[in-house]
Structures are given as C-alpha cells and as structure tokens.
Structure 1
Amino acid sequence: MASGNAIRGSRVGAGPMGEAERGEAAPRLRISFWCANKHETQPSFATDAQVPETWDCPRCGLPAGQDQHNPPDAPRTEPYKTHLAYVRERRSDADGEAILAEALAKLRGEL
C-alpha cells in the first residue's frame, strides 16, 4: 500500500518549467576562442556583456584568444627555487663568509 504522500517522487521546485516561470532568457552570442594547442571553445555571453580578451581552454588549461592564427602564448612558469637558491641570489660567497664569521664570533663571545 502506498503512503499518503501526495508529492512522492518529486522535490521542491521540480515541475515543468518554461519561459513563463523562469522569465525570458537574455539574448546570447557564442564567441570562439583558440589556444596554442588549436583547441576551440565557444562559451556563450549575453549580448550586452563585455567579452574577455582571453579564456582558459577547458581541455588543456592554456589561455585561448579570439584570433585562431595567433593564439596567446603559454604562460612561462618559473622552476621551484629553494630557500638557499634565493639566498644565493641576494648574497655573494664573500658576503656569506663574512656573515658566518660574525655569527661564529658572536657565539664564541668574541664580540
């Protein structure tokens, strides 16, 4: 025997939805974007919306532009640097030796 629930198999907000319930859809236009791997994506924009210069390719993640023959270059990623690499960029070996000598003198109580 079925329970007395009248809306069984349904959820709040479910039902036939048409233009009358949702309102009128905004006019749209589809713009093509191409990435460096020649992938094309066509997102849709409202006709009064500002279209961006670049769009991320959903297939490879590279930036895509509207010019099929001149897509934007892939962003250059810097390799991971350790803390020591950054220190070596800022200090020369002579500076490092001087700092080390000063720290050792301070530990020995000479300063």
Structure 2
Amino acid sequence: MAGGNAIRGSRVGAGPMGEDERGEAAPRRQVRYFCAHGHVSSPYFSVDAEVPNSWDCTRCGMPASQDEQNPPPSPRVEPYKTHLAYVKERRTDEDGAAILEEALAALRQRRRL
C-alpha cells in the first residue's frame, strides 16, 4: 500500500497556476530609482498608490531618486563619539582640572577620617 499522504509532491501555499484560477492581477506600474553608486532599483507600485520621491537602494542601501542624472548624495556619516569626547565638548581643560582637584580633595578628606 502506498503512503497515505494525498498531497505528496506539493508545498504549503501551492495553488493552481495561471491567471484563470487566481483571478486578474491588480494594475501596477514599475518605477525606476537611481542611487549615487549607479545602481537601479525597480519596485512595483499600485496604479492608485502615491509613488515616493526617494527609495532605499536594494543593493547598497543608499538613498535613490527617480532622477537618473542627479541621484541624491550619500548621507554624511558622523563618526562614533566616546563619552570622553562629549565631556570635552562641554568642558574646558581648566574646568576639568578644577573638578578633578575638587574630587581628589574630597577623597583625601574621607581617607583622613
């Protein structure tokens, strides 16, 4: 006796092939977006949908626009700042020296007690 699996050879979600069984596809249009690296992304949008002015490139992740001659520039990447870098932005070396001297004086005072 053969195995009792009636859907053998199929996969989940498999259905009849062809537009006759599925129905008509919704009307859509393809829009081309160009990034600064020369990549082209061509997503499809519904005819009724509002097409965005910019799109993220599917190859490099850079911003892309519909203008092939003037793609958007690469975004400026700020370098990572450490906590010390932020502190140095807020305080001068003289302020830091004064705060350090005050903290050392308080530490010395506690150790004497």
The TM-score with structure 2 as length reference comes to: 0.84
2:35 corresponds to:
35
2:91 corresponds to:
91
Amino-acid identity (%): 68
Distance in 2, matches of 1:94 and 1:102, equals 12
- Unaligned regions of 5+ residues in structure 1, if any? none
Stretch of structure 1 that moved more, 79-88 or 22-31: 22-31
Quote the offset at 1:23 in angstroms: 4.0
1:3 corresponds to:
3
Instruction: Answer whether contact 2:56 2:63 (CA < 8 A) is retained.
Output: yes
Quote the offset at 1:6 in angstroms: 2.3
2:78 corresponds to:
78
2:102 corresponds to:
102
| CA spacing shift, 1:80–1:25, aligned 2, 3 Å | same
Quote the offset at 1:90 in angstroms: 0.8
User: Considering only aligned residues, what root-mean-square deviation do their CA atoms show, in Å?
Assistant: 1.9
Distance in 1, matches of 2:22 and 2:91, equals 64
1:62 corresponds to:
62
Quote the offset at 1:81 in angstroms: 1.5
The TM-score with structure 1 as length reference comes to: 0.85
Distance in 2, matches of 1:34 and 1:90, equals 41
The alignment covers a number of residue pairs equal to: 110
- Unaligned regions of 5+ residues in structure 2, if any? none
2:44 corresponds to:
44
